[in-house]
Structure 1
Amino acid sequence: MKILDGKRTSQKILDEISSEVERIVLDGKRVPRLDLILVGEDFASVKYVQIKEQRARELGIDCQTHHLGQDSTTEEVVNLIKTLNAFDEVDGFMVQLPLPVHMDTNIVLESIEPTKDVDGLTSVNLGRLFQNDPKAIPPATPLGIIRLLEEYGIEVSGKKSVILGSSNIVGVPLSAMLLRRHSTVTICNSRTVNIQEVARAADILISATGVPLLVKSEFLKKGAVVIDVGSNRHPETGKLVGDVDWEDVQGIPSYITPVPGGVGPMTVASLMLNLMNCYKQNER
């Protein structure tokens, strides 16, 4: 059982971006700018934004965080987004999810200018992704998963991929990206019948359910590649765990991502990749 090391792979990507930003500075050009919108004080959201801000600044990227109060309205967030849409020197920005429950997430996301949508979550970018439009900005987590598979030479063409979880952030866009690479894709949701049997047919199993330790040995066939997108707190120990019960599946997968250190770092690196692509389009 080999480890798909997202930390090492993401660092390779970040090093390449850092070198690219250095060349931009040496050429006397404007450096890329990333803006982050955070609403409220959700612990995980605050932490994720801090990580993204830190990574961006380490790369020499101009990063600005806009922290709005928990009681902010949908209209207030949309007005901020409109300001960032209109500001030419903002190459890309993202809204940290989840938003407070009183907000309309769809209205917020759909107000983002698609060419600045570094998270790839607007309906325009998702539609472009399914149309195989080169202008599509893919969501960061699916892009990170694809890059990780490529780094380890794992072929998806002709393979059966099963995705547990049908969100617009991971499952649905990832299915499009795998389909375009000639994988046969099945997406499972909470109403999927005989989910263990469906999962067991997978050559590549991606779990993005948010259910701690859901995936056990009976979900896997020998030699499957396992991608664990989960990032959950164990209900008893409080330890960070994924969707996959690591101890229970030992020796079954050919490759597996750890939690932490697997998909998480790849998501951040992919966000920076998206920003650099937005920057290049903006500079044309």
Structure 2
Amino acid sequence: MITLKGAVVSAKIKEEVTELLRELAGTIPRLAIVRVGERPDDMAYERGALKKMENFGLQAESFSYPADISDEDFQAEFKKINENPGIDGILLLRPLPKQIHERDIERMILPEKDLDGISPENIARVFAGESEGFAPCTAEAVIEVLKANDISLTGKRVAVVGRSMVVGRPLSMLLLKENATVTICHTRTKEIEKTCQNAEILIAAAGQAKMIDPSYVGADAVVIDVGINVDNDGNLCGDVDFESLNGVASMATPVPGGVGAVTTAVLAKHLVMAARKRRGSRA
């Protein structure tokens, strides 16, 4: 089984970012990472994003708030970040605590600063198959991994396990745009293992640690693991039981070191694109 490492794909995106930065005449784009609470997966993503921005020559700042912050107080804080002219892009780590009305925040965020495709305007563009705006970074990262490894999507049977608006649904739209034949699986899917076995490309985005084992994987399938979980020992792991796929899958992404590394690279690219658009350049 070939391991599809994210570092190789990230390096290619870094070259694109470097080229885009040249047109900003020395201006360094600035990212705001907004986190509520201390969920381990959020904090892991935040650390990775901060490191990636520094590595790509970009600025990033974390805005963290206690898990019990009120909806009113959080909206007031988010408004300040949203309207700050010194911030080019925003990454909001989700899901938010139950007391915060997440939909209100999604409507509030300026589409031009919405780097992770959560605003109604950007979501509509993704579902309409348009190129303007920003798609969710993780969904776009999956496409980048496949393309960088010369894995064609045209006509391929692709199963996406997970139907969230964070990854599963927008990713399915991006796959359709690439002419794949997409099946979305979820908790109510009957005989889900058989459906997944029929896929030439299987994408795990369920948020359940090591859910995908060989019983889900067809012979020589390509398996892309989007999951970021923390196991009982406090170690990061994906939705796929990676080691068990040897001899079954033809290729698979690891966790860590797979899609996550590419997701933060896509975030960096979106940040530079947002900065250029705000300054009147075409990305």
**Would you call these one fold, judging by a TM-score over 0.5?**
yes
Flag structure 2 segments of 5+ consecutive residues without an equivalent. Answer: none
Query: Could you say if the C-alpha distance between residues 232 and 86 of structure 1 is closer, same or farther in structure 2, counting changes exceeding 3 Å?
Result: closer
Residues 1-284 of structure 1 correspond to what in structure 2 (within 5 A)?
1-18=1-18, 20-21=20-21, 23=22, 27=25, 29-235=26-232, 237-284=233-280
TM-score, L = length of structure 1: 0.92
Q: How far did residue 78 of structure 1 move?
A: 2.0
Rounded Cα–Cα distance in structure 2 between residues aligned with 1:24 and 1:57: 19
Deviates more, 1:130-139 or 1:159-168: 130-139
8 Å Cα contact 2:41-2:229 kept in structure 1: no
Q: How far did residue 79 of structure 1 move?
A: 2.2
Rounded Cα–Cα distance in structure 1 between residues aligned with 2:223 and 2:278: 37
Equivalent residue pairs, number: 280
Q: Secondary structure at the match of 1:271?
A: helix
Query: Could you say if the C-alpha distance between residues 211 and 75 of structure 1 is closer, same or farther in structure 2, counting changes exceeding 3 Å?
Result: same
Rounded Cα–Cα distance in structure 2 between residues aligned with 1:7 and 1:145: 13
Query: Could you say if the C-alpha distance between residues 56 and 247 of structure 1 is closer, same or farther in structure 2, counting changes exceeding 3 Å?
Result: closer
Q: Secondary structure at the match of 2:219?
A: coil
Deviates more, 1:144-153 or 1:80-89: 80-89
TM-score, L = length of structure 2: 0.92
RMSD: 1.8
Q: How far did residue 131 of structure 1 move?
A: 0.9
Rounded Cα–Cα distance in structure 1 between residues aligned with 2:237 and 2:49: 21
Rounded Cα–Cα distance in structure 1 between residues aligned with 2:42 and 2:254: 21
Flag structure 1 segments of 5+ consecutive residues without an equivalent. Answer: none
Rounded Cα–Cα distance in structure 1 between residues aligned with 2:210 and 2:108: 36
Q: How far did residue 167 of structure 1 move?
A: 0.5
Q: How far did residue 16 of structure 1 move?
A: 3.9
Structure 1 segments of 4 or more deviating over 3 A? 18-21
Deviates more, 1:210-219 or 1:43-52: 43-52
Rounded Cα–Cα distance in structure 2 between residues aligned with 1:233 and 1:9: 24
Q: How far did residue 250 of structure 1 move?
A: 1.2
Describe the superposition over 1:28-72 as per-residue Cα deviations: whole angstroms up to 9, x where unpaired.
x42211111122233332332232123213322222222222322
Deviates more, 1:126-135 or 1:149-158: 126-135
Rounded Cα–Cα distance in structure 2 between residues aligned with 1:213 and 1:71: 30
Query: Which amino acid in the other structure matches residue 204 of structure 2?
Result: S
Query: Which amino acid in the other structure matches residue 275 of structure 1?
Result: L
Q: How far did residue 15 of structure 1 move?
A: 4.5
